[in-house]
A and B are shown apart, each in its own frame.
Chain A
Amino acid sequence: MISVRGLAHRYASTEVLRVPEWSVAQGERWLVLGPSGCGKTTLLHALAGLIRPSEGAVRVAETDLKKLDGGDLDRWRGATVGIVLQGLHLVGHLSVRDNLRLAQYMAHAPQDDARVADALGALGVADKAARRPADLSEGERQRVAIARAVVNRPKLLLADEPTANLDDRAAAHAAELLLEQAERHGATLVVATHDARVKQKFEKRLDLSA
C-alpha cells in the first residue's frame, strides 16, 4: 500500500525528515511516533502528495507520486486519501453536512447526501448535520472531522495528532473511532502522534525520533 525508499525532506538545507525504508501493507494500522518537530506532519504531507520530498521515492496505492503532475496529484489525493488534520479545520460558516458535501465536491466525487448521512451516522453525529462546527463540543467536532475524511471512502486514512488536547478517555476513544472507521472502509490507517497513551492500540509503529 505504501512504499517509501530513501525519503528525505529539507527546508532551506535543514533536513527535517529522513525515512530510508518503510513499507505498509493494505489494511494495516500504523502509528508514526516521535517528539514534536521530528517530521511526522512532513511525512504525512509527503504521503498525501501535499509536498514533493527533496529526495527519495514515495509510492502510495500503486502510484508513484513523483510521476503525477500538479492537477493529477490533487485529483489522486481527492480519490485516494482522507486526512484528519491537526486542529481539525472544519469550515466554520458551513454546516456539518456542508463540510462533508465540500469534501465530495472538492474530490470531484458525486454529491451524495445518503453517503453524507451514512458517514455522520456511523460516527454518531447524524443529529448535528445542520449545526455549525462552533455549536459542537470538541469531541463532536473530532467525529465530524473523521466523517469528512472518510466520506469519500479513501484507501488511505491519515490522522495528524488526533489525540492532542484530549483527556485520557477522549484520547482512547478518538483512537478507537479511527481504527473503527478504517476497518469499516477497508482503509489503511496512518496516525502521527507524539502521544504515548495510544501506543498499545497499534501493532505497527514507525519511530521518527531514532
Chain B
Amino acid sequence: MNLASLSSSYLRARPLNTALSLMLLALGVATIVLLVLVVSQLEERMSRDARGIDLVVGAKGSPMQLILAGIYHADAPTGNIPLAAVQAFQKNRLVRKVIPLALGDGWKGFRIVGAGHEYLEHYGAKPAIGRLWDEPMEVVLGAEVAARTGVGVGARFAGAHGITGQGEEHGAAPYDVVGVLGRTGSVLDRLVLTSVESVWQVHEQEHGPEDKADRKALEEDREVTVLLLQYASPLAAAMLPRQINSQSELQAASPAYETARLFRIVGVGVEAMRAFAIVLIIAAGLSVFIALYTALEERRYDLAVMRTLGAAPGRLFGLLIMEGVVLAALGTLIGLALGHALAATLGAWLESQQQYPVTGLAWRAEELWLAAVALGVGLIAALLPAWRAYRTDVSRTLARG
C-alpha cells in the first residue's frame, strides 16, 4: 500500500464521480491536442511549401486564391497569363528565379502540373524510380500519387479537363509515366508533373486545327497559369508587387502575407475551440473539487482512523492531493491518447480527400505544457479538500460515534 494505491482505491469507490471528472478532463485535453497537432502540422507544411517563393504572379482575381492555387494546389487558378510575361520576368534584374506553371488538368483527383525541372529542384525532389521527363507527354508522379493510385513507370493514362480530373478526358493525348519522385514532404508528393509543353499540346490537339498557319497562331497565343518568383534583393519586395499590380492583366500575391491572413481567419475558429476546451478543463477541475469535497463528510471516520493508526495530518493532506493528481494524470493520459487518435482519424480522412496530410504520430512540446496545466488543475482542485482533511479533529470525530 502507498499513497497512490490508497487514493486510487478511493477513486474506484466512487466510479461515477471519477468517470465524470476523467471524461471532462480527457475531452478538454483531447480538443487542445487535436488543435495543436492540426494547426502546427498545417503551418509547418504550408511554410515548407512556400519556402523560397517570395511572390506568385497570375491572372487578376483573389490574391489568396492565387496563392492557394499556385503554391498549394488547393484551389482553382484565377486564369492564365501570356507566355510573354515569363520572358519579361526572366530579364528582370530584381528576380532571381522564375518558375512558370501550367495548370488546368487533373487525373484521379490529383493535379497535373506543367513545369520545368527547376520546379522539382526548388523542392529538392529527385526521381526514386525511373527518370524525369524529356519529351512532351512524359510525366513523373509524386510519391503520394504513385502510392495511392498504384500506378508506376511504364503506365499510360489520359488526363481530364478540370483540376480534379473529373471533367472530360483528353483521350487523344495520353501521358506516359517515366518516373516516380521520392517523398519530399512537400506539395510535390501530391502532384503529377510534366513539361509545360505537354499541357499546351493536350489542349492544342483538342482544338486541333490541321492547318499549319492556324497552328502557328495557336502557338503564339500560348499561356501559362502562374509564375513563382524568388527575389534577387530586398529591394524587389518594395518594388515588384506594386509594379506588377499596376499592370492591368497581372496580379502579384505574397505567400507570407496571404498565409498569415489565412491563419488569422482560421485562427478565430481555432481560438473559439480552444476556449471551449479550456472551459471543459475548468469544469473538470470543478468536478474534481466537488467530488473530493462532498466525499469528505462520509470519509471523516476513515481520515480519523488513519490518524489513530499513526498518520500525521500531512499524510491526509497528501492523500487528498494525490487523489486530485491521479485523476488529473489519468484524464490527461486519456486525453492525449484521444487527441492523437482523433488527429490520426482526421489525417486518414484528409488523405482520402487528397488534402493536406495530418498525422497523429507526431508529438509536440506544447503537449507537455498541456499535461503540466492539467495536473496543476487537479492539484488546485484538491487543495481545499486536502486542507479540510489536514484539519480533521480526530478526537471530536471519534467522540461523535
Residues of A within 8 A of B (CB): 41-42, 45, 48, 50-51, 70-71, 74-75, 77-79, 83, 85-87, 89, 91-94, 98, 101-108, 111, 148, 160
Contact = CB atoms under 8 A, between A and B. Distances in A.
A79 B312 CA distance: 13
Interface stretch (B85-93, B210-218, B301-309): B301-309
Interface string B367-394: 0000000000000000000000000001
Interface stretch (B5-13, B145-153, B166-174): B5-13
A45 B9 contact: no
14 contacts: A41-B399, A42-B399, A51-B395, A74-B310, A85-B308, A87-B401, A89-B301, A91-B305, A93-B10, A94-B9, A103-B309, A105-B2, A108-B310, A148-B309
B394 A106 contact: no
A78 B398 contact: no
Nearest to B301: A89
A111 B301 CA distance: 23
Contact of A50 (B1, B6, B307): B307
B311 interface: yes
Contacts of A160: 398
Contacts of B310: 74-75, 77-79, 106-108
A163 B2 CA distance: 33
Nearest to A75: B310
Contacts of A86: 398, 401
B313 interface: yes
Contacts of A94: 9
Given A78-B311, A105-B6, A93 B1 contact: no
Contact of B398 (A41, A74, A92, A104): A41
A111 B308 contact: no
Given A98-B1, A98-B9, A105-B2, A74 B311 contact: yes
Contact of B394 (A50, A93, A108): A50
B313 A70 contact: yes
Contact of A106 (B311, B398, B399): B311
B1 A48 contact: no
A68 B332 CA distance: 42
Contacts of B311: 74, 78, 106
A62 B165 CA distance: 95
Interface in B299-335: 301-302, 304-315
Nearest to A74: B312
Nearest to B397: A89
Interface string B41-83: 0000000000000000000000000000000000000000000
Given A50-B307, A105-B6, A106-B306, A93 B13 contact: yes
A89 B304 contact: yes
A85 B1 contact: no
B27 to A, nearest CB: 28
A150 B383 CA distance: 34
What are the nearest 7 A-B pairs in CB distance?
Answer: A78-B310, A106-B309, A93-B13, A107-B310, A106-B311, A74-B312, A105-B1
Contacts of B306: 102, 106
Nearest to A46: B395
Residue from the set B9, B13, B310, B314 with the largest chain A CB neighbour count within 10 Å:
B310
